[in-house]
């Protein structure tokens, strides 16, 4: 049975029970005898739809609808009036108050059930579209619109937000000495409410990290700072996040990084793809966590590839998930592609029975070339029309 809740407001006991009986085969139903009773029921649990008579003792349907319109938490609840055939004044009043539909007494029960289902479906479609658009807007603001162009390097980013995703972050900042600080993060959470929280949290962390950047930022110290934020701020209680923080030195061809529970990156060349296994605890678990940083050197024609768990956890045709072994294999195959981040993203989707990714998916692909004159960047992200 549908878990959505319909509130039936009707003072006639026989009709009230009949309405409840017919509607509860499709949804959960709660009943109220008048507007006052209805407000109490709504305070206990917000319904997804209200079917209400107009004329009732203590508080009529008009007053009930008017009261709901005054509150931001209830003004969007779909509302159906049950009216008499000749009650044209009631129809006009209801339209002025913003009622969604009228059903004329006496009415056919099949018609009532059909119209309630149609209205609930319409609301769900609108809600899903709003969820997707807001989620897309939030996610896009956590991604850079440009990337640094550096001699001897090609930098590719592929990003796809998902409606169900919790929120991924990619941020970069050029230091005074020509090095680059890069932050890749993911906060746990699903759905629009979690995505809104993730957007706020990751924006807060991004600003905090930028405020602490110096000429010699240490990724391990930055990671400890984020962990302290999570554990000391009451608003962030029970928030967990994974981060990969990098200081990329293109002159020395090195990457110094700290990894707190994030997906383990890869070093990829034409012959193989190897996991960079160094990793510490996820952020927000304990104030006793320690974070280490490591430095690796990028050889010519070698790529450093980082990604988020949307790629790691994408289902495969055999009922498993892509996992690190699958990503290594596909990344090695994508190495020679013109846009390797896109090639990896598309190959993982081709290997999946799903038509889309189940979570936000970010791929950060940095290749050191053998040609000092090379300086190329490319960002692939959905347009507004695609969202």
Say which CATH number the domain at 119 has.
3.40.50.2300
d(CA 62, CA 93): 8
Regarding whether 72 and 160 lie in a shared domain, the answer is: no
103, 135, 167: which is the final residue of a domain? 135
pLDDT value at residue 2: 57
94 located within any domain? yes
Q: Flag whether 172 is in a domain.
A: yes
Helix, strand and coil percent figures for the chain, each rounded to 5: 35, 25, 40
Q: Is residue 354 part of a domain?
A: yes
Q: Is 3 exposed, middle or buried (0-12, 13-18, 19+ CB in 10 A)?
A: exposed
The predicted-structure confidence for 300-315, as pLDDT tens digits, reads as follows: 999 999 999 999 999 9
Give the span between the Cα atoms of 15 and 253, in whole angstroms: 78
Rounded distance between C-alpha atoms, residue 315 and residue 155, angstroms: 27
Does residue 245 lie in a domain region? yes
Q: Domain for residue 386, yes or no?
A: no
pLDDT tens track for 227-245: 888 888 766 666 788 999 9
- 291 shares its domain with 224: yes
Same domain, 82 and 226: no
Place 275 in a pLDDT band, splitting at 50, 70 and 90. Answer: very high
Q: Collapse the DSSP code of 107 into the 3-class scheme (helix H, G, I; strand E, B; otherwise coil) and give the result.
A: coil
Question: Are 106 and 33 contained in the same domain?
Answer: yes
DSSP 364: E
- Is the pLDDT reported for residue 81 higher than 90? no
Rounded average pLDDT over 80-85: 77
What pLDDT, on a 0 to 100 scale, did the predictor assign at position 142? Answer: 66
Q: What is the mean pLDDT of residues 108-136?
A: 70
Higher pLDDT, 370 or 210: 370
What is the reported pLDDT for 85? Answer: 54
387 inside domain: no
Q: Residue 104 is part of which domain span?
A: 5-135
Note whether 172 and 251 are same-domain residues.
yes
> Do residues 151 and 128 both lie within one domain?
no
- Between 144 and 28, the more confident residue is 28
295 lies in some domain: yes
Pair type for strands 49-53 and 101-105? unpaired
Calpha distance 171→125 (Å, rounded):
33
Question: How far is the C-alpha of 205 from the C-alpha of 186, rounded, in Å?
Answer: 11
118: which 2 tokens? 């149609």
Distance CA 186, CA 308 (A): 7
Q: Which of 116, 135, 154 is the last residue of a domain?
A: 135
Of the pLDDT bands very low, low, confident and very high (cuts 50, 70, 90), residue 136 is low
In a shared domain, residues 279 and 307: yes
Higher-confidence position of 308 and 101: 308
Q: Which of 102, 135, 168 is the last residue of a domain?
A: 135
Domain annotation covers residue 385: no
Q: Please tell me the predicted confidence (pLDDT) of residue 276.
A: 95
Task: Identify whether residues 66 and 110 lie together within a single domain.
Answer: yes
Tens digits of residue pLDDT in 106-121? 777 887 888 888 888 7
Domain of 217, CATH number, reads: 3.60.40.10
**Looking at the structure, do residues 242 and 331 belong to the same domain, yes or no?**
yes
For 25-39, 194-208, 291-305, 329-343, which range has the lowest pLDDT when averaged over its residues?
194-208
Supply the pLDDT for residue 87: 66
Could you give the CA distance from residue 323 to residue 263 in angstroms, rounded to a whole number? 10
Query: Do 91 and 111 fall into the same domain?
Result: yes
In the chain, the number of structural domains is 2
Percentage above 90 pLDDT, the chain = 46
- Which pLDDT belongs to residue 303? 98
Same domain? 179 vs 295: yes
Same-domain status, 102 and 157: no
């Amino acid at each position: 049975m549908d878990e959505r809740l319909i509130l039936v407001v009707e003072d006639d006991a026989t009709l009230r029970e009949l309405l409840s009986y017919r509607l509860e085969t499709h949804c959960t139903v709660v009943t109220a005898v008048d507007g006052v009773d209805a407000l109490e029921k709504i305070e206990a649990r917000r319904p997804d739809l209200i079917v209400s008579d107009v004329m009732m003792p203590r508080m009529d349907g008009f007053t009930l609808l008017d009261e709901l319109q005054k509150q931001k938490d209830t003004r969007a609840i779909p509302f159906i009036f049950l009216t008499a055939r000749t009650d044209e004044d009631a129809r006009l009043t209801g339209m002025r108050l913003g009622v969604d539909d009228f059903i004329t007494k006496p009415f056919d029960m099949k018609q009532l059930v059909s119209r309630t289902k149609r209205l609930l479906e319409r609301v769900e479609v609108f809600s899903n579209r709003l969820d997707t658009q807001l989620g897309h807007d939030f996610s896009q603001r956590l991604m850079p619109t440009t990337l640094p162009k550096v001699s001897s390097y090609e930098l590719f980013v592929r990003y796809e937000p998902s409606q169900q995703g919790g929120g991924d972050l990619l941020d970069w900042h050029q230091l005074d000495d020509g090095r680059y600080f890069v932050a890749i993060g993911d906060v746990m959470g699903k759905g629009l409410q979690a995505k809104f929280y993730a957007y706020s949290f990751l924006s807060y962390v991004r600003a905090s990290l930028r405020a602490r950047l110096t000429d010699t930022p240490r990724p391990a110290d930055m990671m400890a700072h984020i962990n302290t934020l999570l554990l000391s701020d009451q608003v962030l209680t029970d928030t967990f996040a994974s981060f990969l923080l990098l200081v990329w030195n293109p002159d020395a061809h090195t990457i110094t990084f700290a990894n707190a529970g994030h997906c383990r990156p890869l070093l990829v060349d034409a012959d193989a793809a190897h996991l960079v296994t160094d990793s510490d605890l996820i952020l927000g678990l304990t104030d006793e966590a320690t974070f280490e940083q490591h430095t690796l050197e990028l050889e010519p024609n070698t790529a450093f590839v980082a990604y988020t768990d949307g790629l790691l956890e994408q289902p495969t045709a055999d009922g498993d998930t892509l996992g690190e072994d699958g990503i290594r294999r596909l990344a090695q195959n994508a190495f020679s592609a013109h846009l390797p981040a896109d090639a990896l993203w598309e190959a993982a989707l081709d290997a999946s029975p799903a038509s889309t990714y189940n979570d936000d998916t970010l791929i950060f692909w940095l290749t050191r070339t053998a040609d000092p004159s090379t300086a190329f960047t490319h960002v692939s992200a959905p347009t507004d029309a695609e969202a």
